[in-house]
Structure 1
């Protein structure tokens, strides 16, 4: 399978965006089961929205290059 042989030119700093994006949505989904994060819905949605937009922009920029 060639999928595992694909080389990327992403730096570790650029992977921070996707990690923040995934972490914020995991916490958001988890907050439906625990009331502890209920006060942070808006903050988590803002973090998720910003990181998704930023990551997709970076990804499209890399794909065009």
Structure 2
């Protein structure tokens, strides 16, 4: 039995707990290492902006590709 090949379907409501768990961990780590990351804010903001633009571009490209398909 291969555990990684099991397919399940999850609704968005079922992901709320894992999202809350990860968000609380991020906030905990962020508050603990606040002074450590203070000097890297400009680099982190730059990485965030670049990846956000890239993600939106990929998402729009994918949406356009799916809208061209005949159903």
Structure with the greater relative contact order (CA < 8 A, sep ≥ 6): 1 or 2? 1
RMSD: 3.0
What do the CA deviations read for 1:7-63 (whole angstroms, capped 9, x no partner)?
xxxxxxxxxxxxxxxxxxx58xx2686200000000000000000000000000000
Max radius of gyration: which structure? Answer: 2
> Within the alignment, does 1:56 sit opposite 2:59 as a pair?
no
Number of aligned residue pairs: give it: 42
TM-score, L = length of structure 2: 0.47
Q: Which runs of 5+ in 2 are unaligned?
A: 1-8, 12-25, 66-71
Q: Which runs of 5+ in 1 are unaligned?
A: 5-25
Moved over 2 A (4+): none
Q: Distance in 2 between matches of 1:56 and 1:3?
A: 24
TM-score, L = length of structure 1: 0.51
